Amino acid sequence: MNYSKSVTNMEKNFFSKADPFQKSSKYESKSRMVLPPPNITGKLHIGHALNAFVQDLKVRYERSFNNNKISWIPGTDHAGIATQIMVEKLLLESNIKKEDLGREKFLEKVWEWKEKYQDNIYDQLKKLGLELDWDQAKFTMDEDVQEAVSEAFCKFYKSGLIFKDNRIVHWDTKMQTAISDLEVRNEEVTGYMYYIKYYFENSLSEDSPKNTTEEPISENFVTVATTRPETMFGDKAIAVNPNDERYKNLIGRSAYIPMTDIKIPIISDERCDMEKGSGAVKITPAHDFLDFEIGKDHDLEVQNIIDKYGKLSGDSVPKSLQNIDRLEARKKIIKELKDKELLVKEEKIKHIIPHGDRSGSILEPMATKQWFLDMDSMASEAKEDIQNIAVFPQNYIKIFNHWMNNIQPWCISRQIWWGHQIPVWYFDDNHIYDLEKYNSYKKHGTNYLTSDYGQINKDNEQFSKNANLNHEFLNQVNFEKRFIVAKDIESARKIAKDIGIKNDSLTQETDVLDTWFSSALWPLVNSKEINSIFTNSLNQELNQKSTQELSKGLDPKNEEYPNECIITGSDILFFWVARMIMFCKFFSKKIPFKQIYLHGLVQDSFGKKMSKSKNNAMDPLDIIAEEGIDVLRYALLSSSVPGKNVKFGKQNIEKSRHFCIKIWNVFKFIKSNCSELFDVNIHTPENMEDNLKSGESSQTHDSQEIKKQNIPQEESSYNLPENLHPWNSFIVLKISDIRKTILDFISEWKIHEASNEIYKLIWEDFCSLYIEGCKSMLNSEHSMETKIVITESFKELIRILNPFMPVLSTEIFSLMENINPQTKAYNSNLTNKPCNTSCSFDSILDSILKKKSQKENQENETLIKSKTLDYIKEITEITDSIRYCKGVLGIENSIIYHVNIKQDHVGENIIQGSKSHLESNVEKDEVFYNIIEKLSGFKIHPSKEPKNDMTPYPLQQGVLYINFLDKDLNKLKNKIKKEKEKSYQDLSDAERKIENKQFIENAPTEIKEEIKERIAKLKQIVDNFDKVELMWSK
């Protein structure tokens, strides 16, 4: 059964059967991690898949290799604006506008949508095969989250961080809401700069400028440049730079707004750029950020002339333009200005204009009343906090700090319906029932507070002494703006009653909070500490005392919070990660997570962002349907470098698919070649016996081991020899080495490096080298030993592979997990204790390194390792050389070629080397030659003297003699010549280095040793090259 055909079944097993890797349920530690909650707007995209796979890898890695069980919490985000857009669109299909339904009915529809799409998202997440803790799934508008969000708002307000103000914000005319700076997408577009004449007051005749037919002269007007002429009806001044010689005389004069008889002053301001436009700029405080600031300083009126739909309105707008969309109006205005010769010129320019991230419509800066959260204090704290978080990649700390340094108050109110409604209740003067009481509170309340922001003025002792008034809640009431901040209507009513207001008059703020406001609390609301932080504190003042109480609520041993880590896309560092740090720290006094891992975005193979409109989006579930989970998963993991975008295309998928197939095939090989071990996993004794018998008959040779197995008192146990054959020790040592490398890479979040290491380990070391060589081992006296090492090594590989390919690894592991040949490890001799536990990879490793024996030390370990590696090196050097010749000369396998290894030089070395490894186990190491034969396809004859018809070929430590039959050797000779030259070059380079005094003085000893070794090797090589060339020339 090939891989592609097996995938479906494998995945079925994966989802329906217990995870064999999860058998041990005892973990040293338990911790928590939250899934960045996907929006309930639609489908998962490939970026979600990458994000989820990285997290799932972390969970599996921590569980299997760190004894740390991470509870990974799924959830979904209500995504205010985005979802509202979708639902509105849906309703429009049946010709229903949200206004027709009204807020309540509309919200019902959204909740219906939520149910449906949350299920969708969860279904899709489940199809990715993730180890999520589904019992704890949460939605950002769940009741407890709503409470926490209200509470958070109140607390922010009481500590003076939230305020309501009339400020200029980015306004989305399509959604009719304000949005935050981060939700603005700047796009470069081609537009026009219009140069418009503003006539001076005293240059005019009695007639208004619109009637002028005279040729305009510069003494009569000033030219103002703008890209948005439609805003001119909101102009309150013309500003020039005080240092601008051209306009110095104009300061203090007035000019008329074209098409109107409105007169505005000409003022001077340093922020006015002399280089830009004409140097004179129209100031429209209501519709431009800088103008708003300038207007504030010059006491200019803020007059909105664009309504919330983007249509022109207001007294100063000419009748013909009233209620016309601003962009439409622009065209009309330009036409009229042209007609009236008020337009000096229009200039085609490229400029960047802000668009709504969600709606895509051109945003209008608009002065509106909004709720803001002051970020300054939290931001400066966050800059400290980020130092205590392990951030991967680290350079994002710089970016983080840069953003924090330039932070502005966050506009948190949205004029939409779907979201957390702001917990603020308004009252009006008509509803005061106890005026005396009200005024008394008002008086003291105003004194009590520094401003209308809610912050307590602690210096005001006078008020706190007044025992007749309940001042606890005073920082929740704003008497000037007539609102009460309270977590719910009951609390608001209570306060209202206290200050003499009829409580049935309260109306809640209709605005909702920015979606990211609730997201910022996500790690907190997903811990069980949510209650101790967000309840029963409404009537407490937020002071040191209650702060202490808050932090008391958090058990320091709490395994849930702070979270283990947060894994998310680098694009939402500011949107989400930064805000979580600030919010969670503010409320819990603790940094919400220990580590941050930021991955890049998944782009198409050309580096373009994937999107539906470009038709280059890849649906992860399509890929899964076609290729399987693991192929997608490994493809994403292996090509994801921390913080860098992934160019993702066919190639990534293909490499991954080939890898899966390779693993599946080698498993098939192992299964068929180590069949008797596999059969052991059928537990019934009768079966076992049968299987052992069949195992025996399937063996072509009558090996001792099999006989041993059949001895009843041994209960089919097999004694692993004291000294494993070096070919077998080699793979165990190799896996153990690379395992460490891989685990280190994962813990440093170098997942792409780890992926690459497991790839090389399985494909090159295990399949191409070890298993190929084992094909001869399996027919040797080492057969049983080899089978055990093959299966145990492979099981270990599969265990390491599990975080990368859970489906394939689970399938293979569950088919292999019961292969536990009852083996007595050799060390039972030493400890005198029968070691009849299953023979695990690590016990084999220990036995190779003779770990159980206390006499042994580190030195011995490295000696064993290096001896084993020498053996392998000798084999690979010979096979590589033969393969090289074969490749260069184009030799066919069907003809048997011979190789002589000259024993008086190379061979002896090798045989001695191998003997010492094999110690008493093997008398003569035929295996050595068999492996070379298997790997190279050449027949090997060890002998003292080569035959005359053989061609010498240089090795590092000697000479190979190869019978090339009648092949033309010129190609090879030329190659060797080149190789020789290169070796000479390398040698002289290395020698020059070692002769350099400064190098000797400064270089570290390891490097010096390395170079010395290299020189020794190169000398041998060069020497052999010379000898061989001499022989060839004969």
- Which residues between 875 and 894 bind RNA (CB under 7 A)? 880, 883-884, 886-888, 890-894
- Tell me which residues in 355-374 interact with RNA (CB under 7 A): 362-365
Under rule CB under 7 A, residue 281 binds RNA: yes
User: Which residue in 100, 201, 273, 622 binds RNA (CB under 7 A)?
Assistant: 273
Decide if 136 contacts 71 (C-beta within 8 A). yes
Given 133, 142, 181, 1029, the residue binding RNA (CB under 7 A): 181
CB of 216 to RNA, least distance (A): 18
Smallest gap from Cβ 83 to RNA, in A, equals: 21
Q: State the nearest-atom distance from the C-beta of 645 to RNA, in Å.
A: 7
Q: How far is the CB of 457 from RNA (least distance, A)?
A: 33
Q: Tell me the closest approach of the beta carbon of residue 877 to RNA, in angstroms.
A: 11
Pick between residue 753 and residue 1029 the one whose CB is nearest to RNA.
Answer: 753
* Nearer CB in complex with RNA: 234/365: 365
Q: How far is the CB of 993 from RNA (least distance, A)?
A: 7
From the CB of 280, what's the least distance to RNA, in Å? 7
Q: Which is nearer to RNA, 90 or 572 (CB)?
A: 572
Q: How far is the CB of 933 from RNA (least distance, A)?
A: 11
Q: What is d(CA 446, CA 29) in angstroms, rounded to the nearest whole number?
A: 52
Q: Where are the alpha helices (DSSP H) in 366-471?
A: 376-385, 396-405, 435-448, 461-465
Q: Least distance to RNA from the beta carbon of 871, Å?
A: 19
Angle at 671 between CA 668 and CA 674, to 5 degrees: 140
Closer by beta carbon to RNA, 114 or else 599: 599
- C-alpha distances (whole Å) from 445 to each of 86, 453, 467 are 44, 12, 14
- Which residue, among 993, 966, 985, 967, has the nearest Cα to 1025 in the 3D structure? 985
Contacts of 130 (CB under 8 A, 6+ apart): 52, 55, 56, 72
Partner residues linked to 426 by β-bridges: 483, 507
Cβ neighbours for 554, distance < 8 A, ≥ 6 positions apart: 529, 532, 533, 561, 588, 589, 590
If one asks whether residue 23 binds RNA (CB under 7 A), the answer comes out as no
Chain centroid, CA 824 distance in Å: 46
Q: Supply the minimum distance, in Å, between the C-beta of residue 949 and RNA.
A: 21
CA distance 313 to 233: 9
Q: How far apart are CA 960 and CA 950, in angstroms?
A: 9
Contact pick of 52, 224, 232, 250 for RNA (by CB under 7 A): 224
Within 10 Å of residue 482's Cβ, how many Cβ atoms?
Answer: 15
Q: Which three-class secondary structure state does DSSP give residue 706?
A: helix
228 lies in the binding site for RNA (CB under 7 A): yes
Helix (H), strand (E) at residue 138: strand 138-139
Residues 6+ apart with CB under 8 A from 364: 170, 171, 173, 287, 306, 310, 326
Closest approach of RNA to the CB of residue 661, in Å: 3
Among 90, 182, 572, 1031, binds RNA (CB under 7 A): 182
- Given 201, 249, 331, 349, the residue binding RNA (CB under 7 A): 349
Residue showing tokens 């165990």: 732
For the window 532-571, what string marks contact with RNA as x by the rule CB under 7 A?
---------------------------------------x
Interface with RNA in residues 567-606 (CB under 7 A): 571, 574, 605
CB of 879 to RNA, least distance (A): 8
763 binds RNA (CB under 7 A): yes
CA–CA distances in Å: residue 1021 to residues 130, 161, 236, 886, 983: 53, 75, 87, 20, 7
Following CA atoms 514, 520, 523, 525 in sequence, which dihedral angle do they give, to the nearest 10 degrees?
Answer: -40
DSSP 30: E
**Dist. CA 690–CA 693, nearest whole Å:** 5
* Per CB under 7 A, 308 contacts RNA: no
Question: Which of 288, 498, 765, 874 is close enough to bind RNA by CB under 7 A?
Answer: 288
* In the complex, minimum distance from the CB of residue 214 to RNA, in angstroms, rounded to a whole number: 24
CB of 602 to RNA, least distance (A): 11
Q: Quick one: which segment of 183-191, 443-451, 579-587, 719-727 binds RNA (CB under 7 A)?
A: 183-191
Please identify which residue in 50, 59, 91, 225 interacts with RNA, judged by CB under 7 A: 225
Binding residue (CB under 7 A) for RNA from 4, 13, 64, 814: 4
Q: Is 873 in the site for RNA (CB under 7 A)?
A: no
C-beta of 224 vs 334, nearer to RNA: 224
How many residues at the interface with RNA, by CB under 7 A? 96
Q: Using CA atoms, how far apart are residues 370 and 366, in angstroms rounded to an integer?
A: 11
Residues 993-1032 that bind RNA (CB under 7 A): 993, 996, 998-999, 1002-1004, 1007, 1010-1011, 1014
Question: Toward RNA, which CB reaches closer, 281 or 800?
Answer: 281
CB nearer to RNA: pick between 179 and 422: 179
Q: What's the CA dihedral at 913, 919, 922, 927 to 10 degrees?
A: -30
Q: How far is the CB of 172 from RNA (least distance, A)?
A: 11
Cβ at position 819, least distance to RNA in Å: 17
User: Residue 672, interface with RNA (CB under 7 A)?
Assistant: yes
Under the binding rule (CB under 7 A), the answer on residue 271 touching RNA is: yes
402 Cβ neighbours under 8 A, 6+ residues apart? none
Could you give the CA distance from residue 267 to residue 259 in angstroms, rounded to a whole number?
21
Cβ proximity to RNA, 321 vs 407, nearer residue = 407
Strand partners, 306: 312
Candidate list 27, 65, 669, 984; residue touching RNA; CB under 7 A: 669
Taking CB under 7 A as the criterion, which residues in 968-997 touch RNA? 986, 993, 996
According to DSSP, residue 449 is labeled B
Range 384-443, binding RNA (CB under 7 A)? 395, 398-399, 402-403, 406
β-strand partners of 477: 484
Identity of the residue, 251 or 1011, whose beta carbon is nearer to RNA in the bound complex: 1011
157's CB contacts (< 8 A; 6+ apart) are 453, 454, 475, 476, 485
Residues 6+ away with beta carbon under 8 Å from 322 = 312, 313
Question: Does position 134 bind RNA by CB under 7 A?
Answer: no
Among 184, 815, 830, 869, binds RNA (CB under 7 A): 184
User: Does residue number 246 form part of the binding site for RNA (CB under 7 A)?
Assistant: no
The span from the CA of 991 to the CA of 979, in Å, is 18
Catalogue the E-assigned strands of 673-822. 718-719
Start-to-end C-alpha separation, the chain: 56
For RNA, the closer CB: 435 or 1007: 1007
Could you give the residue ranges of the DSSP H alpha helices within 489-603? 489-498, 515-519, 522-525, 530-534, 544-552, 579-588
* Of 459 and 1001, CB closest to RNA: 1001
Amino acid (one-letter) located at 893: N
Q: Candidates 36, 47, 295, 354: give the one binding RNA (CB under 7 A).
A: 354
Q: Which is nearer to RNA, 273 or 626 (CB)?
A: 273
- Closer by beta carbon to RNA, 141 or else 762: 762
Site residues for RNA, 702-761, by CB under 7 A, read 750, 752-753, 756
**Interface of this chain with RNA, residues 626 to 665, rule: CB under 7 A:** 639, 641, 644, 647, 651, 654-655, 657-658, 661-662, 665
- If one asks whether residue 298 binds RNA (CB under 7 A), the answer comes out as no
